[in-house]
Amino acid sequence: MKSLASINAKDIETIKMALNDAISDINMELKNALSETKMKEVMEYKTRYTRVYDKLRTNPSIYALAEYELDIAAGGLNDAIEMLEENMADDDLDDQEKSDILTYKNDCQRVIDILAG
């Protein structure tokens, strides 16, 4: 089992990238017609992801995050993995793009495993 101390600068960048991707996906979802309840739920996720993303931009250390924020980061990583899996199904991707997506997905999963430890 790895500890939070094993999370390095590259891992922080992976977390920030995943949160940014999740926020972008939320922004796309918000363009759709949503019920008031669903809109509120989606906005709450966006607010949480944005808060953690901004905190890591200001202080790029895993120790800058409170325990509940680590859970939010893991949620953003999971959301990014779901989006990546959807993108992998795209037949228009070349081998390099597929390789890049797989590398990013594996990086997200590795950080999730550390956060879950």
Whether 1 shows a pLDDT value over 70: the answer reads no
Kindly report the pTM of this predicted structure. Answer: 0.91
Buried b (16+ CB within 10 A) or exposed e, 54-81: ebbeeeeebeebeeebbebbbbbbebbb
Which tens digits make up the pLDDT trace of 27-47? Answer: 999 999 989 999 999 999 999
Write down the domain spans for the chain: 4-116
Which tens digits make up the pLDDT trace of 71-88? Answer: 999 999 999 999 999 888
Structure-token pair, residue 109: 């999963």
How much is the average pLDDT of 51-78?
Answer: 96
